[in-house]
Amino acid sequence: MGILDLFRPRWKHSKWEIRESAVSTLTDQAVLTGIAKTDSKSDVRKAATKKLTDQTVLAEIARTDTSLWVRVSAVKHLTHQAVLAGIAKTDLVSRP
């Protein structure tokens, strides 16, 4: 733990385990979106993705995240059938 960790929010902590734990207490969709899109650890991004409600953001994550498990988590939380169909037809077919 660095000294700066004392002065920053838990979701910005240097240890990924603490960031992942902090996500469970967050409700701010803007903060969760930022974490889901940019955190360096896929486990933290996945935890944030599970709490997202914005279908556009979830679709973007389902299409672009580098981790299969984060993309799967995003797909599981998508409710718009047209978006799901689009991902199924194009994005998943083109993946190795």
pLDDT of residue 93: 46
Distance CA 37, CA 58 (A): 10
Q: pLDDT tens, 74-92?
A: 999 999 998 888 888 877 5
- Residue 7: HSE in the Cβ half-sphere, 13 Å Cα cutoff: 3
Query: The whole model's pTM is what?
Result: 0.85
- The mean pLDDT of the chain is 90
Q: pLDDT tens, 32-68?
A: 999 999 999 999 999 999 999 999 999 999 999 999 9
Helix orientation angle between 55-64 and 42-49, rounded to the nearest 10 degrees: 150
The domain segmentation of the chain, as residue ranges, is 3-91
3-state secondary structure 31-49: HHHHHHHHCCCHHHHHHHH
